[in-house]
Amino acid sequence: MSTKQKIHIFDTSLRDGEQVPGCKLNTKEKIELAIKLEDLGVDVIEAGFPISSPGDFSSVEEISKVIKNATVCGLTRAVKKDIEAAADALKLAKRPRIHTGIGSSDNHIKYKFNSTREQILERAVEAVKYARSFVDDVEFYAEDAGRADIDFLAKLTEAVIAAGATVVNVPDTTGFNLPFQYQEKIEFLVNKVPNIDKAILSCHNHNDLGLATANAIAGAIGGARQIECTINGIGERAGNTSLEEVVMIINKHPELGFYTDVKPELLVPMSHLISDTMRMMVQANKAVVGSNAFAHSSGIHQDGFLKESSTYEIINPKEVGADGFQSIVLTARSGRAALAFRMRGLGHEFTRDEMDNLYAQFLDVADSKKEVNDEDLKELALSFASAKA
Ligand code: KIV
Ligand code: ZN
């Protein structure tokens, strides 16, 4: 029996991810993506913010009808009419969750709410109780927890759990924390909140300093059991924690003692689907799913990789559903072995002497281009064959 702890994967591509300018999805697109997210194996799908627009309401409603196993979640502010709209949109979901919350840092309390810690705590408790009157599963987010006073955060966490929250989300809304700070925050809550065993803690990290994934993993090490993330790390500003990074870190580091139910071989197809549907390109060097994530270009790396792939690859591209064929990128820095490998892939074999000759021609082409592609290789092979004849 596995002693590993499950990390619940909460996908918010359709809510936080969709907040990217120009990436608005219609209901049909959202339904298709939600079905694929369920196939991928995520535990929770945050389908939208029902009060925000009729389109978002209907997306949450329609997704609730088609999703069979995953929890479907709707976001709200700590406002009665938001909670009523979410409950209404989720009424046909098999496993509905209302995600309600309010700012928890002094910055948000003062500038966003012109309020006090006491009033915020009261509103939080009221919102959770109200949400619990509609559904059994209520997640509370303490917005900007990353910059909140830790004693107040602990008091708030205790109060919302007592009010019925099943999950407490600790968002680093501005992506400000360092991994050790975020881990300490979670550890503090785990150790100091008396009723913490009645709920699970959730990591929600933004990528403003490029630390979203590192912070989420640090939070899990600190005791959180849910990670909120998006495909390709899409989201507000610099984005959210990347789902694919979280899953592969957990898979590649069994010493963490975690597992997820995500099927890794579907990660790259899911990344393409999100990128195409949202019309948002994935940067080439993006970890796990970028087009260069498994591309080896320098001669030294190509030589090592062709002898034994583990010299320069910790993930086999097939594990994440990527086609490994283009793993050797041909440039003027590539060697003979790399050229022979790609030629073999196109059905052309050469003797050692022929390869010496061909390699000289290849370098002429490579010097005039950034990358030598299949078409160039086919032409090279053809002119080589006709010169021989
Ligand atoms: O970043 C954030 O704080 C959020 C909350 C609404 C959960 O997205
Ligand atoms: Zn967020």
pLDDT tens, residue by residue, 116-137: 999 999 999 999 999 999 999 9
From the CB of 171, is ligand 1 less than 6 Å away? yes
From the CB of 173, is ligand 1 less than 6 Å away? yes
**Residue 385 confidence (pLDDT):** 80
Report if residue 160 sits inside a domain. Answer: yes
Nearest Cα residue to atom 1 of ligand 1: 173
Question: What separation in Å is there between the alpha carbon of 75 and the centre of ligand 2?
Answer: 11
Tell me: do 71 and 181 sit in the same domain: yes
Domain count, the chain: 2
Tell me: do 112 and 206 sit in the same domain: yes
**Residue 1 confidence (pLDDT):** 55
End-of-domain residue from the set 262, 281, 309: 262
| Backbone φ, ψ for residue 139 (5° rounding) | -105, 135
345: pLDDT confidence band, cut at 50, 70 and 90?
A: confident
Cα–Cα distance list, 338 to 91, 295, 371 (Å): 57, 12, 13
| Backbone φ, ψ for residue 98 (5° rounding) | -100, 130
Report if residue 288 sits inside a domain. Answer: no
Tell me: do 254 and 303 sit in the same domain: no
240 Cα nearest atom in ligand 1 = 1
Report if residue 128 sits inside a domain. Answer: yes
Output the domain CATH number for residue 149. 3.20.20.70
Report if residue 271 sits inside a domain. Answer: no
Cα–Cα distance list, 131 to 74, 77, 109, 126, 137 (Å): 11, 11, 22, 9, 9
Tell me: do 302 and 344 sit in the same domain: yes
**Residue 361 confidence (pLDDT):** 94
Tell me: do 198 and 256 sit in the same domain: yes
The type of residue at 91 is K
Whether residue 99 contacts residue 75, with contact meaning beta carbons closer than 8 Å, is answered with yes
Closest to 274 in 3D by CA, of 244, 317, 253? 244
- Cβ atoms within 10 Å of 22's Cβ, excluding its own: 7
- The answer, as to whether pTM is greater than 0.85, is yes
Question: What separation in Å is there between the alpha carbon of 55 and the centre of ligand 1?
Answer: 20
Report if residue 284 sits inside a domain. Answer: no
Share of the chain above pLDDT 90, in %: 86
Instruction: For 44-96, write each residue's pLDDT tens digit.
Output: 999 999 999 999 999 999 999 999 999 999 999 999 999 999 999 999 999 99
Domain assignment of residue 378, given as a range: 295-388
Report if residue 223 sits inside a domain. Answer: yes
Report if residue 281 sits inside a domain. Answer: no
Tell me: do 348 and 216 sit in the same domain: no
Tell me: do 248 and 299 sit in the same domain: no
Tell me: do 194 and 91 sit in the same domain: yes
Report if residue 273 sits inside a domain. Answer: no
Question: What separation in Å is there between the alpha carbon of 238 and the centre of ligand 1?
Answer: 14
Find the angle CA(305)-CA(309)-CA(314) to the nearest 5 degrees: 115
Residue with tokens 């979410």: 86
Give mean pLDDT, residues 22-29: 90
